């Protein structure tokens, strides 16, 4: 792909140290497009900016970094997408501090589809992972692009569910567009760059600095019609994303969990503060409205039939951990029958064994 003057001007401004989205937005409003900003005199720039930044614009960015950036943009499937592009997400234009331009790899048609962000704990429970993937798969099949942050745990499950059955998913990352973090998600990141999307407002080579991720979170919510929190502790960054969503006028959804689980406390706080409690993907769709379903998608997945004892034990287990003795007392079955049912349920992927002899429902 040949790089035109306009793209080079956008890239040059994006790469200047100290050029925040807010500062660049102010310059563009005052002077016009990126070429006008680059062509302005130092005197005119100094009227709008500190003298040091005005001089930086006239010097331009580091030539080696600019060359690497333009080479990256020129690769197939890569792009720098700016306000004046038809593909720039319309949803981002409604927030207070959208990035004037960002780096993107993947399918550009997903940027303006109805979207929902799915976020949650990095150290998720098996049930939380299952919920995230199932909700993402169902919502993606119903025509929504699944937006998340490529972190371990809930984000990973959400992306996998979003990409299933021909659906779509976009990861908003807190590194440069040439870096996949964490490394454990490198394969998933490469798949998103082909079948979904990877979006970053950070220059090439930017490492995963802690300050990048709260900044990234405003884009997670800004791209989306709503944010679904699957699991979250009280210290989870997912609550930051939910706060951005509320400030941006987006819907906030939360899946309730066990009152004994620390991974449910953040979700429960959001529900107390007005987030919508959801139990099925249909609850989300009813709030956000219908999208165009993926061909052959199912909006609700039926639970398969099981042997009578296994179904009885699963019902008695509920959604809190329990051991054989407790389940024997709840079901009235013999301990041997309960143990056989637990093996059947574990083999079918419905439960998982926990340390100490307890079992936890995962589906």
Note the pLDDT tens digit of each residue in 196-244: 999 999 999 999 999 999 999 999 999 999 999 999 999 999 999 999 9
Domains 1-68 and 108-288 share a fold: no
The bridge status of strand 276-277 relative to strand 169-172 is unpaired
pLDDT at 355: 78
The bridge status of strand 276-277 relative to strand 251-254 is parallel
**Any idea which residue has 């009235």 for tokens?**
332
Q: Provide mean pLDDT across the span 243-260.
A: 93
pLDDT at 292: 58
Q: How far apart, in Å, are the Cα atoms of 199 and each of 3, 82, 100, 193, 270?
A: 19, 12, 13, 9, 27
Q: What is the CATH number assigned to the segment(s) 108-288? A: 3.40.50.450
C-alpha to C-alpha distance for 159 and 168, rounded to whole angstroms:
8
Here the tokens at position 101 are: 């331009």
> What CATH number matches the domain at 308-361, 3.30.479.30, 3.40.30.10, 1.10.10.10, 3.40.50.10140?
1.10.10.10
Residues in a beta bridge with 145: 115
Domain boundaries of the chain, sorted by first residue: 1-68, 108-288, 308-361
How many percent of the chain have pLDDT more than 70? 94
Assign 250 a pLDDT band (cuts: 50, 70, 90): very high
Q: Provide mean pLDDT across the span 336-344.
A: 78
C-alpha to C-alpha distance for 90 and 39, rounded to whole angstroms:
28
pLDDT at 2: 58
What's the CATH architecture for 1-68?
A: Orthogonal Bundle (1.10)
pLDDT at 293: 62
Note the pLDDT tens digit of each residue in 289-303: 876 565 545 444 333
């Amino acid at each position: 792909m040949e790089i035109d003057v306009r793209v080079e001007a956008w890239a040059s401004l994006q790469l200047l140290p100290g050029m925040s989205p807010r500062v660049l937005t102010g310059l563009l409003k005052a002077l016009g497009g990126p070429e006008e900003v680059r062509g302005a005199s130092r005197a005119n720039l100094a009227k709008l900016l500190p003298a040091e930044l005005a001089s930086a614009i006239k010097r331009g960015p580091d030539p080696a970094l600019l060359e690497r950036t333009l080479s990256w943009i020129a690769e197939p499937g890569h792009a720098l997408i700016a306000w004046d592009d038809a593909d720039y997400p319309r949803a981002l234009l409604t927030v207070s501090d959208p990035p004037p331009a960002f780096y993107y790899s993947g399918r550009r048609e997903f940027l303006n589809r109805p979207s929902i962000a799915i976020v949650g704990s990095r150290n998720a429970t098996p049930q939380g992972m299952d919920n995230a993937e199932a909700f993402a798969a169902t919502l993606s099949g119903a025509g929504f692009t699944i937006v998340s942050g490529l972190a371990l745990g809930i984000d990973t499950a959400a992306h996998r569910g979003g990409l299933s059955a021909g659906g779509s998913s976009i990861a908003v990352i807190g590194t440069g567009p040439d870096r996949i973090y964490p490394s454990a998600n490198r394969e998933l990141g490469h798949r998103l760059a082909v079948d979904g999307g990877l979006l970053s407002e950070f220059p090439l080579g930017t490492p995963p600095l802690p300050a990048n991720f709260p900044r990234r979170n405003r884009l997670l919510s800004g791209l989306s019609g709503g944010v679904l929190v699957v699991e979250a502790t009280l210290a989870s960054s997912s609550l930051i994303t939910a706060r951005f969503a509320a400030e941006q006028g987006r819907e906030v959804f939360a899946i309730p969990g066990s009152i004994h689980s620390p991974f449910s406390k953040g979700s429960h706080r959001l529900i107390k503060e007005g987030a919508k409690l959801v139990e099925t993907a249909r609850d989300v769709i009813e709030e956000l409205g219908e999208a165009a379903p993926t061909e052959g998608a199912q909006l609700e997945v039926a639970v398969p039939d099981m042997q009578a004892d296994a179904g009885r034990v699963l019902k008695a287990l509920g959604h809190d951990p329990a051991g054989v003795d407790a389940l024997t007392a709840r079901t009235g079955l013999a301990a041997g029958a309960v143990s056989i049912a637990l093996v059947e349920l574990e083999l079918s992927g419905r439960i998982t064994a926990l340390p100490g002899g307890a079992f936890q429902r995962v589906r």
